[in-house]
Amino acid sequence: MKLFGAEQERVLGSLYGAEAAEVYGALLRSLSVVLEEKVAPLSLALDQGKEEIDKPRRVLFEQGVCKLPHASEFGGMGLPFGVYALAMELAGAADASTAMSLGIHNTVADAVERFGSPEQKKRLLPALLSGKKLAAFALTEPSSGSDARAMHTSAVWDGSQYVIDGSKMFITNAGEADVYLVFAATATGHGAFLVEGANPGLKVGRALKEKLGMRGSRTAEVRLVKCQVSADALLGKEGAGFEQAKQLLDSSRIVMGMICVGIARAAYGKALAYAKGRELFRKKLADMQLTREKLAAAAIETSAARLLCMHAARLKEAGKPFSSEAAQGKVLATEMAVRTCDAAVQLFGGYGYTSDDVHRHLRDARLLTIGEGASEVLRMLIASQELERES
């Protein structure tokens, strides 16, 4: 399957103009060739636990995917966020687990770039953007996911250092990461702390292997037991942690939405090819009216989800508020991906139900209606912003 085609070229052209679209198109076309040849062939084995994620993730690091949206001062490429978002769609189509692992890693890089001190940026950004260091985002807790403000993890200043205690749950890249962005309650609100993976107070639980999907990525609990970090581990100001998390998640939701566009395209591409070849009642499956309804719905919804996510990306690039649009894009894209991947299983029939290579897309998509803001919580956020707008 061609990951980058005319549909994305047209989106680039309409959003960025012909000249810039040519430059960005060349980048994404080149990336898609590498993803098709080096990442997509590993995807099924990753789902089946027969391949390690480090291999495809390294390909994305070497290509420079993480560098796309970051400033050139610390090794980034300074390109529009939407170009990065489209790159993540391609990565999601090649392998959802790898794309998610990288996307979350890059949210931490985003955190350092936005809120970090000059010293933190210098120390961490080049290593994070090149992939020399891997990062994890530790916000969710066993008893607080969507209600992140209710976190129990605490960071107490003992006069010379912070001591962090608590537990973080469902942490992507846990056990592999070199640096963890840990959110904790402090005396003045919440704080975000950059904790080294080698810190003896940071303990990683067993990998959660019973996951429905995204089986290629590593997920585990992270415990912080009298975890001592110096003052320079604090990202930005103490008390700003919750606001930082909200801002980071706004951007990350665009990325997760685009990964889901990629997942849907991967499943849709397989179903389309199957429908063209499969015969029943002396007709091709693709010639059945109800099949065409499914294919058309998938095409409409994929385009709509991509455009809404890209609209949020363009607002972000322009420095305008985009929190509601990012949430809308994520809700639409993730729920669309579940519907599209389910339709793909249906079109394949028994072969879809019994084939990892078909139903894994549905299993992968299912996570993202929960992670990075569950659909229900995002609907609350969207509605509250609508109500504020009307009043």
Partner 1 sequence: MNIVVLVKSAVDEAELRADTAGHPVLKGAATKMSNFDMNGVEEAVKQKESNGGTVIVVTLGGAEAKKAIKEAMAMGGTRAVHVLAEPPDAPDSLGTAYFLAKAIKRLGEVDLVVCSEGASDTYQGQVGAMVAEFLDMPFLAYAKKVETEAGRIKCEQGFEGGVRVLEAKLPAVVSVVSEANVPRYPTLLQVMVAGRKAIEDITMASLKGDDYPETGMEVLDITLQSANRKRVLLDGSPEEASRKLVEALRREGVL
Strand 179-186 and strand 135-138: the pairing is: parallel
Question: What's the closest the beta carbon of residue 40 comes to partner 1, in angstroms?
Answer: 14
Name the one range near partner 1 by CB under 8 A: 27-35, 42-50, 150-158, 247-255. Answer: 27-35
How many residues touch partner 1 under the rule CB under 8 A: the total is: 24
Residue from the set 7, 18, 62, 203 that interacts with partner 1 by CB under 8 A? 62
Q: How would DSSP label each residue in 231-278?
A: GGGEESSTT-HHHHHHHHHHHHHHHHHHHHHHHHHHHHHHHHHHHHH-
Question: What's the closest the beta carbon of residue 117 comes to partner 1, in angstroms?
Answer: 26
d(CA 193, CA 94): 32
The dihedral built from the CA positions of residue 27, 33, 34 and 36, taken in this order, carries a sign that is: positive
Interaction with partner 1 in 262-321: which residues (CB under 8 A)?
277-279
Give catalytic status of residue 372 as yes or no: yes
What do you get for the CA distance between the two ends of the chain, in Å? 48
Question: Could you tell me which of 20, 50, 4, 29 has the C-alpha nearest to residue 317?
Answer: 20
Using the rule CB under 8 A, is 27 a contact of partner 1? yes
d(CA 77, CA 335): 32
Task: Work out the angle at residue 331's Cα, subtended by the Cα atoms of residues 327 and 337, and round it to the nearest 5 degrees.
Answer: 140
Interaction with partner 1 in 68-97: which residues (CB under 8 A)?
68, 77, 79, 87
Question: Could you tell me which of 81, 14, 4, 65 has the C-alpha nearest to residue 326?
Answer: 81
Residue from the set 12, 15, 42, 65 that interacts with partner 1 by CB under 8 A? 65
Using the rule CB under 8 A, is 23 a contact of partner 1? yes
Q: Which is nearer to partner 1, 21 or 155 (CB)?
A: 21
Question: What's the closest the beta carbon of residue 175 comes to partner 1, in angstroms?
Answer: 28
Residue from the set 10, 18, 26, 383 that interacts with partner 1 by CB under 8 A? 26
Q: Which residue has the tokens 């072969």?
A: 351
Which residues are part of the catalytic machinery?
372
Binding site for partner 1 (CB under 8 A): 2, 6, 22-23, 26-27, 29-31, 33-34, 38, 62-65, 67-68, 77, 79, 87, 277-279
